[in-house]
Structure 1
Amino acid sequence: MKASRVKFGILKGTVCCSPEFMKAVFVTHTQPILDYSSVVWNTGYLGNLRLLEGVQQKWTKMIDICT
């Protein structure tokens, strides 16, 4: 999934891990990809919903690890 690749690249290349900065990066770079693809996917299926929410959960977990 494209959002997952973007998330991985940003997290590997980011030195500053403050929660405010990481939230701003997520909102500007990753969230638009998720918002666009959620229209195409049927979020009524649990598998699709888990894929979309998995990116957000991994992002917040990495913020907690960095701080």
Structure 2
Amino acid sequence: MSAVDAVRDLVDLARSMGYEIREEWLGGAGCSVCELRGKTVVFIDAACSAQEQWEQLREALSRGENPA
């Protein structure tokens, strides 16, 4: 499985868990999780490689923020 496929699978899992996923250019800052308008949103940094995105998304989801 390629890193891109792994990111897609993890994004699909996050969405199925109730997270909203947004891919934005964050200049290498990495993934971040916040609550916006009552929804838990995960921002994926488009400036990062697929491997970095996967690692950062996995870490963000493992912190256990509950989707609103």
- With normalisation by structure 2, the TM-score equals 0.33
Higher relative strand content = 2
- With normalisation by structure 1, the TM-score equals 0.33
Higher relative helix content = 1
Whose radius of gyration is greater, 1 or 2?
1
